[in-house]
C-alpha cells in the first residue's frame, strides 16, 4: 500500500450495488480501498484492476473469513490500522409475517445485524490504532415501515440503527467515530439479486401475490440516486467528521420528516396510500361472499 494513503474496507462490493458505488467513491477520494465480496468475480473489473485497490474474498457470516480479511488488511497496511470500515452487506426479505420461515428470517438478522457487530469486533484493534471510522449502512425502513410485507427486513434494520448508535457511544472514548447511514432510495441491483417471494397457496395473502411480487420489481428505487452519488455523499460526510445518523438517498428528507412529525394515525394513512393492499384484500373478500 502506498504511503500516506488512508484505507477503507467496504463489504458487499458487487458491481451494480451500493457497495460498488461506495468503493469507487472512496477510491476517487484517495483511499486505498479493500473491496470485498463473497464472490470477488462479481466486483467490477474496472474497480478490481484499479491501482490502490485490494480485492478480498469476504463472507461476513464466517468468522474464519472475517479473520482472514483482518490478517490481509494488517499485512497490506503494514500494521498501521484501518481508517474506515464500511458495513454495507445486507439481505432483503419481502414476505408476509404470517408466511415467514423463521430460520430464513434469522438469516436476515444474521446478515443485517450480527454480521455488522462481528465485523466491528474483529476490526476494532485496527480501527482503534488508526483512530478510524465505522460506517454502518442501515435503512429508512428501520424507522418508518415503508416496506410493506417487509417486517423482518425492517426490524433487522431497526436493530442495526439502534446497535450502531449505541456502538457509537461505546467506541467514541476509544477514538473511533461511527456514522449510521439511514438509507432511502438508491438505484441498485438489490431487487434483481433478491428474486421473487414464494407466497404459499395456503397464505391469507395468496390472492394478492402478484402485488407482493411487484414490490420486488425495483419500483421503490425509481426516485433514487445512483450508487455512485450515494457513495460520494457518504465520503463527504466521513471527510467532514460527521457522526450519528445521516439520512441519505432519494426521499430521505421526506422520510425523516414523516418519522419525526407525523402522529401514528397520519403515518397509517400515508402508508395505506402507498401500499393499498388492505383494500385489495377487502375487495377479494367481497367477491368471495
Q: Which of 153, 187, 205, 228 is catalytic?
A: 153
Beta strands in 184-227 (DSSP E): 186-187, 225-226
The answer to whether 109 touches 156, Cβ cutoff 8 Å, is yes
Question: What does the alpha-carbon distance between residue 176 and residue 119 come to, in Å, rounded to a whole number?
Answer: 14
Q: Which of 91, 157, 187, 228 is catalytic?
A: 157
Helix H or strand E segment including 20: helix 18-28
Question: What does the alpha-carbon distance between residue 48 and residue 37 come to, in Å, rounded to a whole number?
Answer: 11
Question: What does the alpha-carbon distance between residue 203 and residue 139 come to, in Å, rounded to a whole number?
Answer: 28
Is 91 annotated in the active site? no
Residue 81: name the closest of 110, 121, 122, 123 by CA. 123
Counts for the chain of helices (H) and strands (E), in that order:
12, 9
The answer to whether 126 touches 132, Cβ cutoff 8 Å, is yes
Is 153 annotated in the active site? yes
Q: What is each CA distance from 149 to 228, 263, 282, in whole angstroms?
A: 28, 21, 17
Question: What does the alpha-carbon distance between residue 204 and residue 280 come to, in Å, rounded to a whole number?
Answer: 12
* The C-alpha cell that represents 193 in the structure block: 439479486
| Catalytic residue ranges | 153, 157
Amino acid at each position: 500500500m502506498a504511503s500516506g494513503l488512508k484505507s477503507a474496507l467496504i463489504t458487499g462490493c458487487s458491481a451494480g450495488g451500493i457497495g460498488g458505488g461506495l468503493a469507487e467513491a472512496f477510491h476517487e477520494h484517495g483511499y486505498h480501498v479493500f473491496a470485498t465480496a463473497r464472490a470477488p468475480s462479481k466486483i467490477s473489473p474496472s474497480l478490481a484492476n484499479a491501482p490502490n485497490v485490494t480485492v478480498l474474498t469476504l463472507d461476513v457470516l464466517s468468522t474464519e473469513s472475517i479473520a482472514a480479511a483482518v490478517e490481509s488488511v494488517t499485512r497490506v497496511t503494514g500494521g498501521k490500522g484501518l481508517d474506515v470500515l464500511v458495513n454495507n452487506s445486507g439481505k432483503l426479505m419481502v414476505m408476509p409475517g404470517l408466511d415467514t420461515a423463521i430460520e430464513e428470517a434469522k438469516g436476515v438478522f444474521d446478515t443485517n445485524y450480527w454480521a455488522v457487530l462481528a465485523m466491528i469486533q474483529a476490526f476494532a484493534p485496527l480501527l482503534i490504532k488508526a483512530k478510524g471510522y465505522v460506517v454502518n449502512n442501515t435503512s429508512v425502513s428501520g424507522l418508518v415501515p415503508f416496506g410493506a410485507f417487509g417486517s423482518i427486513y425492517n426490524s433487522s434494520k431497526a436493530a442495526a440503527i439502534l446497535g450502531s448508535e449505541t456502538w457509537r457511544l461505546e467506541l467514541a472514548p476509544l477514538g473511533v467515530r461511527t456514522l449510521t447511514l439511514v438509507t432511502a432510495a438508491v438505484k441498485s441491483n438489490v431487487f434483481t439479486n433478491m428474486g421473487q417471494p414464494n407466497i404459499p397457496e395456503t397464505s391469507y395473502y395468496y390472492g394478492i401475490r402478484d402485488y407482493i411480487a411487484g414490490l420486488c420489481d425495483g419500483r421503490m428505487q425509481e426516485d433514487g440516486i445512483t450508487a455512485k452519488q450515494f457513495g460520494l455523499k457518504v465520503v463527504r460526510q466521513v471527510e467532514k467528521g460527521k457522526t450519528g445518523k445521516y439520512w441519505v438517498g432519494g426521499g430521505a428528507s421526506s422520510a425523516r420528516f414523516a418519522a419525526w412529525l407525523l402522529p401514528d394515525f397520519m403515518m397509517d394513512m400515508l402508508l395505506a396510500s402507498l401500499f393499498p393492499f388492505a383494500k385489495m384484500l377487502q375487495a377479494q373478500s367481497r367477491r368471495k361472499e
